[in-house]
Amino acid sequence: MRVLITLFVLCTSVAFAQNDGEKLFRKVDKSVVAIQHERAGGSGFIVDESGLIVTNGHVVSMMDVENPRDTARRITVILHNDKKYQARVIGFSLDPDVALLKIETTEPLDAVEIGNSDKVVTGQTCYAFGAPLGQKRTLTGGIISNTARTSLGTFTKVFQMDAIINPGNSGGPLFNAKGEVIGVNTYGGKAGMGFSIPIKYAMTLKEHFQKFGRFVRTDVPFFVSKAMPEEFAKVLGTPQGVYVDYIIPNSYSESIGLKNGDVIIEMDGKPSSGKSEEDYYEWNWDLQTKVVGEKIVFKILRKENGKWVEKTVSGILKEDEPAPQYGRQIGELKEISYPELGWGVQSITMGSYFIYNLPTDKGMRVSSVKSNGAVARAGINANDVIVKINDQEITDEETFQNVVDGILTEQKKFMSISTLRGNDKYFNVVKVSYYLKNRKVLIISNGAPEELAIFKRRLQLQGAKVTVSSTVESYADGDWDGVLLHGELAFSKKENAELLASLVEKKTVLGLIGKTPLLLVDGPESLKDSKITMDKDFSPKLIKLGFNYTGKDVESDGTLVTSTGFDRKTSRSFLEAFSASVARRTDPRD
């Protein structure tokens, strides 16, 4: 009898749970969306009937070190009824991993109800909703396993739950049993663990994105602090405040009066608790989400003559610098890259200065070095600090780029670089090779001026003689090693056929990006055998005609180089492949 009663109770509990899930699904289904673009897919949820949608930052970011604020160009939001809308990015952050999108619609949408993530407790029921593995409108249930996971290296604490989180769930909502959003699902871990960003953090970022277009953090630069567990506080004989572990010499925090070993017990009149990592994370969030330019007041305890004395220090909040090495502002520190030399450099922030133990905060830090590249062969290593190039002082990004561009444009054979490494000074000589020296390249374009300028600059820095035109007639004006077609070009059928036939005959390298591979329709039959790729929205026409479409981002087949041109990273890869083909080209008339 006891066994039967137990089974009845279990079955009844499951039935109630299923019923609760069904009700929740019906309530929130219209508020959850799928998100797609050529690079990735994810989920999101409507937070305003006008079409504002919250998702993860990594769902829309292109993760491009050269253009860290670059996002996918064509983001499609799919509603519950399969209606599709193009979305624009209002703002995004990679830590906390949150983005805000906007779609334009004449009909009001169903927005979610925002819950109170501060009231979430371990053991409560939760539901994750999204499009895992591309399967839309998928609901999974579980419990909150931990309300304050702080060991994952994230800027904020996160929820841990056992609701299943698969690729595609990213950016979807985590609901409580009432159907209120309590978190933004960000990724799944091993052993069935899932993690979600508490919704209160996402809503703060929403406000920042709408106001600034990005997450603006505040700080009193530059001091290092930490939590004060009970044992630590007892040893010191103080309350469990926030411990000032280290003040950076000559920093702003030192100038306002903070010192090593201070214990912050109040911030702007509010008690500062560091009794746990969770409390410390909350304190740090409060500090870094205030307003730049406003006054901040700390009440501290400082030990003087063996006794703890209460003091007050105050200052003006500054905007925090990117410090991706600490997990802060990941993806917000630009890298200036020169593939032709095999290196990338970044500005020196306070964070990188201390993390890498750099000898100075002036100059530029070498952030990446390609093995066997010209810079590597000259003996320059990652984290060396560039202070001079050809006897000109390097003080910032603009100076660095102007100097290096000038040297390459003038096709100088050598570049002298003064660097610092620890306490040592080095004088390095980089021998520059111009792979496209004396090569003539024609760019026919009516496309985006910004992208066109990048193409022209990169080719010139490799030594090419570049001519830019918007008409096909310019082809007759020179004997070209490479012809690059870019933009929304529309030649007559005759012009197009003659151009392509001539290029094939002369074995001139042809570069086609974005929509321009469609011009191959009027070309010689021999081009059908070449591997090609292009923007997938326009590829069906070529596939139908029997072209060898591969669908890759960039395809290079002999003297034909094609690309989807989906983003700046893809465009740079296309240009590298095009340049390599031009460099290898042998004129059949030679």
State the catalytic residues.
58, 97, 170
530, exposed or middle or buried, with CB in 10 Å at 0-12, 13-18, 19+? buried
Which whole-number Å values give the CA distances from 441 to 32, 275, 474, 533, in the listed order? 49, 65, 11, 22
d(CA 66, CA 467): 26
If DSSP codes are grouped into helix, strand and coil, which group holds residue 208? helix
Q: Give the whole-angstrom CA distance, residue 118 versus residue 116.
A: 5
Residue 218 structure tokens? 């505040």
Write the CA distances from 480 to 25, 139, 488, 589, integer angstroms: 62, 58, 22, 12
Query: Which residues share a beta bridge with 134?
Result: none
Instruction: State how beta strands 509-513 and 180-188 pair.
Output: unpaired
Residue type, 143: I
User: 3-class DSSP state for residue 276?
Assistant: coil
Of 304, 380, 383, the C-alpha closest to 348 is: 383
Amino acid at 3: V
∠ CA 262-322-158, nearest 5°, is 75
End-to-end CA distance of the chain: 98
Among residues 519, 465, 523, 457, which one has the least CA distance to residue 487?
Answer: 519
Sequence letter at residue 2: R
Q: CB burial class (10 A; 0-12, 13-18, 19+) of residue 42?
A: buried
Name, in order, each residue with C-beta under 8 angstroms of 135's C-beta and a sequence gap of 6 or more.
168
Q: Residue 205, exposed/middle/buried by CB under 10 A (0-12, 13-18, 19+)?
A: buried
H or E element in which residue 184 lies: strand 180-188
Query: Three-state SS for 137?
Result: coil
Q: What letter would DSSP give residue 95?
A: T
55, 43 Cβ separation under 8 angstroms: yes
**What is the length of the chain?**
590
Locate tokens 């860290």: which residue? 68
Q: Does the N-terminal peptide bond of residue 588 adopt cis geometry, omega within 30 degrees of 0?
A: no
Closest among 440, 431, 432 to 464, alpha carbons compared: 440
Question: CA angle at residue 258 from 333 to 148, to 5 degrees?
Answer: 60
Cβ atoms < 10 Å from Cβ of 262: 23
Tokens of 251: 């920093």
d(CA 120, CA 110): 24
> Which tokens sit at 387?
């202070």
Which DSSP symbol is given to 156? S
